[in-house]
Amino acid sequence: MIAKKIIQETDSIKIPRIGDILEGQIINQKNAVVYLDLKEWGVGVIFGKEFYEAKNRLRKLKKGDSVFTKVIKLFNEDGYLELSLNQAGEEMAWKTIKEKKSNNEIIKIKITGANKGGLLAEVSGIPAFLPVSQLSPINYPKVKDGDNQKILQALQDFIGQELEVKVFDTDPKEGKLILSEKAKESEKIKEFLKNYNKGDIVEGEITGVVDFGAFIKFGQESLEGLIHISELSPKMIKNPSEIVKIGDIVKAKIIEISNNKIFLSLKDLN
């Protein structure tokens, strides 16, 4: 029990507690046990369940490498601190994520999957979710009739792509990490919108036709706005595709700018 004795006899050293994150240097690996030099705290070990849960990461490490670990048991019968590599990594990851949120930082993610609600990714090894509602206007799936299967197909096209996002919401206890692409665009859009006013006439391209209206992209900034079905024609229509189709170049009038959203009208030009 050498390590325990050293700490007890040295008043100036703060004794570690369960849950503390410590940095250690790998000094040996044998028989499914990893030994780490914890400096003034003696030697720590990763073994048993903690070894097998982290074996893929441990396999990539070598003698002399430094890693962060979490104390899960104080000095065992051999005088070692028992450690967890996985738990420390997760805790450090959540800390990093919270800092990114606090700093309003833009981060780059790679889309790994999709479901009907949005896109899946990882941030610092933590599973993350980017809801459809938090996609930027340009990437929002413009699916006719709002068909869930077509929305899923549109979202699956993002798999493998990289997107820039911000951290929208976190709950480490629940393992919840929500991202937003829309939040990243908000400040930029707010600046662009200063160049436009209600009543302006703009020319742009129809980028999407859905059951409730049509999306139009306009201006050098590639802003995107919505022409609601009720603003497409003075006549009552059942389907926006009766008036416009994707790729059409049209002129439209800005009728409202609210919360970084632009609403336009075709019928007001008639």
CB count in 10 Å sphere of residue 155: 24
Residue that the structure tokens 């391209």 belong to = 205
Q: Does 165 fall in a domain?
A: yes
Answer yes or no: do 10 and 82 share one domain.
Answer: yes
Helix (H) / strand (E) containing 85:
helix 85-102
**Number of folded domains in the chain?**
3
Residue pair 249/212 in contact (Cβ under 8 Å)? The answer is no
Amino acid at site 42: G
**181-237 residue pLDDT tens:** 988 777 777 778 888 899 999 999 998 888 889 999 898 777 888 999 999 999 888
Give tens-digit pLDDT for 30-70. Answer: 888 899 999 888 899 998 888 888 887 787 788 888 888 88
Query: pLDDT tens digits for 10-29?
Result: 445 567 888 888 888 899 98
Rounded to whole angstroms, what are the CA distances from 4 to 1, 13, 25, 30, 159?
Answer: 5, 12, 19, 23, 51
Which of 20, 55, 88 is a domain's end point?
88
CA 259, CA 198: separation in Å to the nearest integer? 14
Which domain CATH number covers 64?
2.40.50.140
- Put simply, whether the predicted model's pTM sits higher than 0.75 gets the answer no
Range of 62's domain?
Answer: 2-88
**Element spanning 4, H or E:** helix 2-9
Residue 130 dihedral angles phi and psi, to the nearest 5° = -115, 100
Domain termination site, one of 124, 152, 187: 187
- % pLDDT > 90, the chain: 29
* SS3 label, residue 31: coil
Place of tokens 């003698």: 63
Beta carbons within 10 angstroms of residue 50's beta carbon:
22
Among 55, 88, 121, where does a domain finish? 88
Same domain, yes or no: 164 and 212: no
Coil/strand/helix, residue 129: strand
Same domain? For 135 and 70 the reply is no
Q: Is residue 48 classed exposed, middle or buried when 0-12, 13-18 and 19+ CB atoms within 10 A define those classes?
A: exposed
What end-to-end distance do the CA atoms of the chain give, in Å?
89
